[in-house]
Amino acid sequence: MPPRKIALLEAADRRIEKVFDPHIAGDVNDSQVKIAKFGAVFDWHSHDEEDEAFLVLRGRIAIDFRDGVVELGEGEFIVVPKTVEHRPRALTEEPVVLMFEPATTLNTGNAESDLTVSDLKRL
């Protein structure tokens, strides 16, 4: 049986009800591809051991860094190196973003809060 195909934007619209609630789209070796809708502002955080990559599928986001901001639009991609403090946020209503990171990566990294999701759902 061939692997399952996912229409990512359609699945995100149908299954993801809250912003900053990442869902697993797939597993790649020891990493995962996660998808989320972003909201107005997230927690400042870093990941001590993991790089984190973001690919915007729909809308626009900003990722705040302590020394500046990077804005991303549809089709744009960035890798945030481990230990770099950052804070993603939406620039448009509920943008949809793919994240690529080790499966053990917690969405809030070293800053546990009400936005921390430790039990991710799958698409």
Q: What is the pLDDT of residues 57-72, one digit of tens each?
A: 999 999 999 999 999 9
The reply to whether 121 falls in a domain is no
The domain spanning residue 73 has which CATH number?
A: 2.60.120.10
Number of domains in the chain: 1
Q: Per the confidence metrics, is the pTM higher than 0.85?
A: yes
The token pair at 20 is 């900053």
The reply to whether 117 falls in a domain is no
Q: How do 96-102 and 52-58 pair as beta strands?
A: antiparallel
**Residue-level length of the chain:** 123
Q: What is the pLDDT of residues 88-123, one digit of tens each?
A: 999 999 999 999 998 888 776 777 778 777 788 999
The reply to whether 43 falls in a domain is yes
The reply to whether 115 falls in a domain is no
Q: What is the pLDDT of residues 23-45, one digit of tens each?
A: 999 999 999 999 999 999 899 99
